[in-house]
Chains A and B, each alone.
Chain A
Amino acid sequence: AQSVTQPDIHITVSEGASLELRCNYSYGATPYLFWYVQSPGQGLQLLLKYFSGDTLVQGIKGFEAEFKRSQSSFNLRKPSVHWSDAAEYFCAVGDYNTDKLIFGTGTRLQVFP
């Protein structure tokens, strides 16, 4: 069955530090992978997506993610975190036939000044 695992429920980093949020997926075919961010009281905003090609994808707000097929992972990274990055981050895999997204349970990022 298709699934997404985000092992870290809550991560705290200092402003300016680097960040890596983990995501592992289970999917039978080549996955379509997404990272979304959700600020309090807001909907989901797409950070980046992977469909095919270059396994390192760039997104908005300075985020990037790397697809590693051998590890079934799609980890999100940012070299220097800003206080405004504090939010909930969701990894998702796209279903090939229906555009349905299967989300992980999210990682809450807290940023200290």
Chain B
Amino acid sequence: ETGVTQSPTHLIKTRGQQVTLRCSSQSGHNTVSWYQQALGQGPQFIFQYYREEENGRGNFPPRFSGLQFPNYSSELNVNALELDDSALYLCASSLASTSVAGANVLTFGAGSRLTVL
């Protein structure tokens, strides 16, 4: 059973540029969530994708967008990068269950560390 893999592991961008981060879900999982973890902080929920549609969004502006593909992999896109976007971006996958809402356990990847100069 493969875990969650993210790419790239590190990248440096300048203000105003755009970035795409990629995530492959754990085998058998159909839901993907993205989190932003600034230095010294806990992860903050960006959004979640289920069946290729956004299924919940945190307090992030529209320049943060995502995609989920039929194989359940996902992308996070950030446009017009700002210095405050520098963070570790974590992808997590889970298997949506109708039995107990909110009880699904997330499996996290190691993250993509973005530095905006």
B110 touching A41, Cβ below 8 Å: yes
Question: Chain B contacts of A104 at CB under 8 A?
Answer: 42
Contacts of A36 in B (CB 8 A): 108
Closest to A45 in B: B108
Complex contact A99–B104 (CB within 8 A): yes
Q: Which residue of A lies closest to B47 (CB)?
A: A100
Main secondary structure, interface of B, reads loop
Of B35, B41, B43, B90, most A-chain CB atoms within 10 Å: B43
CA distance A101 to B4 in the complex (A): 17
Which residues of A approach B to under 8 Å, CB–CB?
4, 32, 34, 36, 41-46, 49, 51, 90, 92, 94-106
Q: List 19 A-B contacts (CB under 8 A).
A: A4-B42, A34-B105, A42-B110, A43-B90, A43-B110, A43-B111, A44-B106, A45-B108, A98-B55, A99-B33, A99-B56, A100-B45, A100-B48, A100-B58, A101-B33, A101-B35, A104-B42, A105-B40, A106-B42
